[in-house]
Structure 1
Amino acid sequence: MSVEGLGRCVMVIPTYNESENIEWIVGRLRTAQPGVDIMIVDDNSPDGTGDIADRLAAGDEAISVVHRTEKAGLGAAYLNGFAVALEQGYDVIGEMDADGSHQPEQLVRLLDALASADLVIGSRYVPGGSVVNWPLQRLLLSRGGNLYVRLLLGIRVKDATAGFRLFRRTTLEAIDLGSVLSTGYVFQTDLAYRTVTRGLRVREVPIEFIERVRGDSKMSGQVASESLKLITRWGLSERRAQLHRRKRPA
């Protein structure tokens, strides 16, 4: 299916043990944006999420399922889904969580913004954006992490760790997905950074992010701190590479 002015569009939704949420979120997305296809990428969920996804796909040609054999990280699931979407000829490829944190009813904001962008990020931290039901400690960790990313990498993106996004296919082709090694939550920062450094247009639009009410969160303080450590190593390596390139003789 297609969205007027943008071509064929698909939202990639990674899942692991989301049996309580997947049918609910897919139904909301199909109602909010009937012209947008859905690709569920399931990491062999033991709770039957993959079976529910197959049932949904059997009843709706706009829904497809990619079954993975292992749980290898959020980034790995997205890379798999993006590769399939590119092979299938989609013009716009998006990403969102399965747990309701990203509201399908707000996807229209991202679609509208893509008219003048190569990557649109649904941002919690631009004016008008917000976070609902997060403890103060987690909010401070997230805000602090994003500030750290901006300072370390020298980019202006306010919410580089956000996972509600739309990419043009040309953007994914330009940032060389085959060389992306990050598989966890650092993946979001990695792709935002690659987009910026290639001179492509990034826009952030405000969203209301709502903490899940059903099922177990995959994010924890330990996961967040490990992500920051990885960003530090990766960011310092990138900065060294930048300095090396600048010192090369013309």
Structure 2
Amino acid sequence: KAASLYTRVITGMPVHDPTGGFKCFRRVELESLDLDAIRSGGYSFQIEMNFKTWLKGFRVKEIPIVFTDRTVGKSTMSRKIVYEAIGMVWKLKLRSLFGTL
């Protein structure tokens, strides 16, 4: 929840869960994006896709999912993934402000 709030505050994007949930993109939306320019991985990939779609004026329709906490095994959430997501939010916002997105 903190990551979602962080992303929404910095980007202004009206998406409740920018790092999760189920999202569908229409073909016209995907074709309008330069998918080869997407550089994010992990959770920040979802943030980048949502942000770029939203900036182009498309509506991001969210379909909530129930995410249950892991009961066995180890989390795949590394510090690298967290830092990448934190930095990506600022990178996207700044690039959008300077028109280099």
> Is TM > 0.5 for Structure 1 vs Structure 2?
yes
1:145 and 1:205 mapped to 2: Cα distance? 18
Q: Give runs of aligned pairs for residues 212-223 of structure 1, distance below 5 A.
A: 212-220=70-78, 222-223=79-80
Bigger RCO (CA 8 Å, 6+ sep): 2
Please state if 1:165 is matched with 2:28: no
Instruction: Report % sequence identity.
Output: 34
Flag structure 1 segments of 5+ consecutive residues without an equivalent: 1-142, 245-250
Matched residue, 1:235: 92
Give me the TM-score of the superposition, normalised by structure 1: 0.35
Conserved 8 A contact 1:163-1:188: no
Conserved 8 A contact 1:160-1:188: yes
Flag structure 2 segments of 5+ consecutive residues without an equivalent: none
Please state if 1:188 is matched with 2:80: no
Check 1:166–1:197 CA distance in 2 against 1; reply closer, same or farther (3 A cut): same
Give me the TM-score of the superposition, normalised by structure 2: 0.78
1:182 and 1:216 mapped to 2: Cα distance? 23
1:241 and 1:146 mapped to 2: Cα distance? 24
Superposition CA RMSD, Å: 2.4
Higher strand share: 1
Higher helix share: 2
Q: Give runs of aligned pairs for residues 51-66 of structure 1, distance below 5 A.
A: none
Per-residue CA shift, 1:135-164, capped at 9, x if unaligned?
A: xxxxxxxx1221121121111101111153
